[in-house]
Amino acid sequence: MSVSTQKNMPLRAGERGAAAGSFHIEDVYPCVDAGRFPVKRLAGDTIEVWADIFRSGHDIIAAQLIWRREEDRDWHKLPMTLHDNDRWFGSFAPGEPGRYVYAIEAWTDEFATWKHGFELKQKAGQDVTLDALEGAALLTRAQYGGKEATTIIVRQCEDYLKGGDPASLLVPELASAMTESRERGDLTRSQLYPLTIDRSLAAAGAWYEMVPRSQGAVAGQHGTFRDCIARLPDIAAMGFDVLYFTPIHPIGRINRKGRNNALTAAEGDPGSLYAIGAEEGGHDAIHPDLGTFDDFRDLIAACKTHGMEIALDIAVQCSPDHPWLTQHPDWFKRRPDGSMRYAENPPKKYEDIVNPDFGCDDAGSLWNALRDVILFWVNQGVRIFRIDNPHTKPFNFWEWLIREVQTKDPGVIFLAEAFTRPKVMKGLAKLGFTQSYTYFTWRTRKWEIESYLNELTGYPERDYYRPNFFVNTPDILPYHLQSGESWMFKSRVALAATLSSTYGIYNGFELLEHDAIPGREEYLNSEKYEIKVRDWNAPGNIRAYIAALNQARRANPALLQTRNLRFLPVDNDQIVAFTKQTTDAGNTIVGAIALSRDACEFWLPLDSIQIRAANDSMPPVALENLMTGERHAIEWGGVRLRIDPLRDPALLFCCLA
């Protein structure tokens, strides 16, 4: 994007100089789609801004970076520095979550231009009498920039006028004062670039998804929020940050589905979690068997004591007996014969669900109602929402809703559950979703994993797309987990937990649950349609392994970011090797994860890695295993390692100086 006029910033009469319209501000970084969508960063991050800035002629130019909260009027201003070849650099660091804008201003530095020309003429022995007068005249036009700067300008101007010595105009402190106080007659401002600043959990966290009604201990008995509270110590011990609930609302009775998605429910079948709404209420109600709102608020408080937050699943769909169908019948479509149009994804039919019609005549009221649902739960203490199938709803609706909610609470996080076409997934991320589901769930081969991560960590994706790597979901039991082999479960969770800063598992993964509907990537006897009771300490579980991974993540900030990831060239198609490093290179992690069950030895090249030690940069001299504490000396630019997937498919190391 190039800016060559001042039309984006109206100036007062008489302020346009001869160079007005001569500036070009282009190739601005960071920006997404030429500034149509916001760049995403975290509170406290340093935002580095680069731009090509130039104008006609040989005059010296100056530039500054300006930024503010979107709703504020006053700008923060910081000088930009010329890097080389007309490439300028500046940075700022917003401290609080919210929506911001930034821009670049450029102008002709008349005093620096005069000083440069004067010194060249003086050095060449030319008469500079008139030039000195021109320089003094610039001092008289200086605008107020502060008491100290004004004092210096007045003093040096008086010195020159008294003695006529041009040296009074060349002292360094005068140049600095004029930098602060100079006239900016041809000031040009770029367009405004949007920026979203989020809290840290938006970019780094471990999610544990569970079905609240299945957390009880008695077979066939509906679980409660109190049962969920009883499970918190175990979940916290595994190191999870987010406790993500499937829908907790009343479930419809009309066309209720039975076990394994049967069209007819048997007596006592609880129905699908996603057939939301019944006579007890809709999206702002709690299933009565789970407990009360007081119980729910107690659960939120208990989570907080364990260092976790609740995330709620929001599905914009209704059962046929949802209150909205009676209160707002015009929000829903009917077929030519007057019957209800049930949800479909041909040839699939969802007889227990109807979708709101976003094209109805009363769409504004529908939008407001859905926004109010989110705000209702925010008022209950929920600040994380996973949105079910957002790609099937209008994009402008989500852009509006997310802005509405985050205007009231900038810390609210939205996760887009959209397994759809890549550009649609990226489009949702651009318009405001904080995090996004990914194709990691199905990436199993080395080249697939590496190419996919290179895409997500490259430009421009890294500036707006925050991946959340789920290894499984209630809807998806990937084929590679259906064998139930412990090493494969460990490999997949290790890949998810180390390659991405945010990842998740669906409960039962830690128990190696793998019974599938034959020929399909779906769980047999899915708890979407029935209540399950589990022995969370069943033999063969990998709870301790998951806990160790999450402990390593928390101890190593390099693992809590996805932007700085680089794959290492291991000559083995069954091993993914990588390095992740913090911005300051103070924490560098190296990993090697097996994709097959066969043990092998391999050479891990490390000669391209530099780490920080004693404020200097140097190659690492050793690796320390994050799980065992074992150390390996680095010789000849690398280290030879052995990996036995049946024991542990992942080797994770910290680089040591």
For the annotated binding site, the residues are 257, 317, 352, 389, 528-529
User: Tokens 């209160």 appear where?
Assistant: 327
- Cβ proximity of 580 and 611 under 8 Å: no
Give residue 589's region: left, alpha or beta (phi > 0; psi -120 to 50): beta
For strand 631-633 and strand 76-79, is the pairing parallel, antiparallel, or unpaired?
Answer: unpaired
Cα separation, 503 vs 346, in Å, equals: 31
User: What token pair was written down for 110?
Assistant: 């008349």
523-495-629 Cα angle (round to 5) = 125
Give how far Cα 160 sits from Cα of 121, 157, 163, Å.
18, 5, 5
Cross-strand pairs, 644: none
Strand (E) positions, 297-426?
309-315, 342-345, 348-354, 384-388, 413-417
Cross-strand pairs, 640: 603
Query: Is 388 assigned a catalytic role?
Result: yes
User: What token pair was written down for 144?
Assistant: 């107020």
Per annotation, catalytic residue among 131, 417, 463, 648 = 417
Query: Is 573 assigned a catalytic role?
Result: no
Binding-site residue ranges for alpha-maltose 1-phosphate: 257, 317, 352, 389, 528-529
Cα separation, 273 vs 523, in Å, equals: 15
In 164-264, alpha helices (H): 172-181, 225-237
Sort 99 into a burial class: Cβ within 10 Å, 0-12 / 13-18 / 19+. Answer: middle
Based on its alpha-carbon atoms, the radius of gyration of the chain, rounded to whole angstroms, reads 31
Cα separation, 417 vs 391, in Å, equals: 8
The identity of residue 397, as a single letter, is F
Per annotation, catalytic residue among 313, 388, 527, 530 = 388
Q: Which residues of 196-223 are buried (b: 16+ CB within 10 A; e: fewer)?
A: bbbbebbbbbbbbbbbbbbbbeeeeebb
Cα separation, 270 vs 36, in Å, equals: 45
Give the residue numbers marked as catalytic.
388, 417
